[in-house]
Structure 1
Amino acid sequence: MTKDKDFEIFLATVPGLESVLCAEVRLKGFCQPVAVPGGVVIRGGWPEVWRANLWVRGTSRVLARIASFPVVHLSQLDKSAGRVPWQTILRPDIAFRVEASCTASRVYHAGAAAERIGKAITRTLGATQAEDAPVLVRARIEQNICTLSVDTSGELLHRRGYKQAINRAPLRETMAALFLRQCGYNGQEPVLDPMCGSGTFVIEAAEIAARLNPGRARQFAFELLATFDAQAWQTMRAVKSARTPAFHFYGSDRDAGAITMSRANAERAGVQDYATFTQATISTLRPPPGPAGLVIANPPYGTRIGDKQSLLPLYRALGQTLLTHFAGWRVGIVTTEARLAHATGLPFLPPQAPVPHGGLRVSLYQTAPLPEA
């Protein structure tokens, strides 16, 4: 792989949201994105890798696929990995680590595979391995084909760089962005989250409307690769796309600590001028002045049967308030249980397929614009 050559780039996401991510990637101008299990594949060079990390809201990591070859035993893996031109990709002065997975292959021991690949890299490049190394090489051995990738993101991309304070069971920013997109949100309407927690939905919506790049405030693993061009990267980052949103964004929560947290996160994200957070209960919730928009919430859903039973009144109160006061607004609710969602009494469209979140499976329930009460 040379610096100018096109190669396959994999943008990972939560299984079940691949088509939503693919729509975002296409909208951001990447050529011929294809949804595949676990993510989206595009083709491009290193500038496209940088741009994907900087621009795309819904991906959790960006992998540069650098080599693929057949392998049926460890010595073959050792030789083939040693023929990869690592000196054009990795730096000898930066430590690396290798992670491997094996599925339906003659080479079935992931630890042994990772060890062979790591030794091949050290032998050909001279770089050292370390458990906490900032550069990660990923090997996927499936059906006797080994695909080698470099994780160009480093820390998962939901870590935007502004959220220092979080509440319990927070929704990741990447997933929030995809749920907003599933609800038809494109930055052209107000958004309200009545159970805002640390402000994730509100801040993501405000950033989308303000055209702020999600990766603007953080660093990436690709900055440590031999392919990195600091001047070209600074030029890319310096392009100003921001605008002042035409609408305002609102979060409320009954917990004063959540409101303090959300305001601080919004200020760090630079969207405090168009995001308002207010301490309020569900029953006192009213629409802000101006046009109708989107109400979206990730209410508590509990992990035990008793928890779910005790949450039914909360969902009923939410539904009653929205049906009474929010005519014309669309609603999106993320929850684990159809029973909890339907306790709202809201006229939901057919639900989306459940997706994994924090060891559970959640679904997005959404409505068309609510009718007059």
Structure 2
Amino acid sequence: MAFLSKIAFRFMKKGGGQTILIISAIAIGVAIQIFLGLLIQGLQDSLVNETIGDSSHISVSSKLENGSIQDYENITKQIQKSNSNNEIKVVNPVISKPSTLQFESVNKNIFIKGMPIDSGEKIYEFSQKLLEGKTPVDGEVILGDYYREKFGLKIGDEISIFIFEKFKTETLKISGFFKFGVQNINESWLITNLDTAQNLFETNSVTNIEMQVDKPLEVETVQSNLIESLSLDEQLKIVTWKELNADLLTALSSQSLSSILIQVFVIISVSLAIASVLIVSVLQKSREIGILKAMGIKNYQSSLIFVLEGLFLGVIGAIIGVVLGVGLILSFTTFAINADGTPVIPLTFNYGFILLSFTIVVSSALIASIIAGRKSSKLNPIEVIKNG
């Protein structure tokens, strides 16, 4: 094998321009694969994060309109107990009900969102969204920056909340102002802790149990596990973010399909290029192969020389391509930035994808070289030397 490898390496060196051409083709193919693959993965992660980054991935709720979950504490414990693989990052019981915010002559329809602030922080990241003030304790609320800017409300101001279903008005104090990336949230949400919300609506129940999972794109697996492990009331349902965002999933599927098609065509092109160059190499080196066969090497060994040459070309080209592809994606995320300095498309480094791209291209080079190797095995040494 060492002798055959040495001959293959010499053939590769002797190829000169052809060798450089094929290594360049492989490197460019791998670089395109890695650049486009990581770019599309980054775009998909960005789209998913913008859509569900500050919201729940799974929600347990009632099938009845305006229904509630009475036994939420027990269900929460069951969820946490079933989370043996740590697929669920946070469980957050929530009251989400409409009411009216009243101050001076203003009446504004809003949604009261009451939740344990500690678990809510893990989903909604209040500490990062707060522009001023602090998270609420009992009797306090935080509002969107919209109310500070448009109506001049300040921290410490008291506001009245009219509760439709109880036909009563309660007074709460503003402890801070937040700003989410969605304007509708900034205008319609009033956030408080769970005890305050339950007191407002005179209930010990919640309307939802929200969850975030470790892998949002694999949320169906967690949903199935929950359905199997939880003995839920027939009036309750488990809904995932995917069921609520069908259009986004269609867009993600289209992007993935486009990426796969591009990569398939790149692999086919690289494979054809390698096979073509190596077949030409067999013809150019037919005299040398004939002499080697006359000296005693067998047909399979002559084939193996070109298979090894293809392997060397594939590995060298793929290594250069990985470096080039990673360099391109790093350059793109460094120079293609928003006004605030953040990348237009965040970088997603998927080492598994890089390794897969490397392996596929090297395997393609190996398969293509087998075609040339078979042609080499059919050469008749006597005819080659005679016509040489």
Name the TM tier (shorter chain).
under 0.3
Structure number with larger C-alpha Rg: 2
Instruction: Return the TM-score normalized by structure 2.
Output: 0.24
Instruction: Return the TM-score normalized by structure 1.
Output: 0.24
Write 1 or 2 for the structure with the bigger share of helix. 2
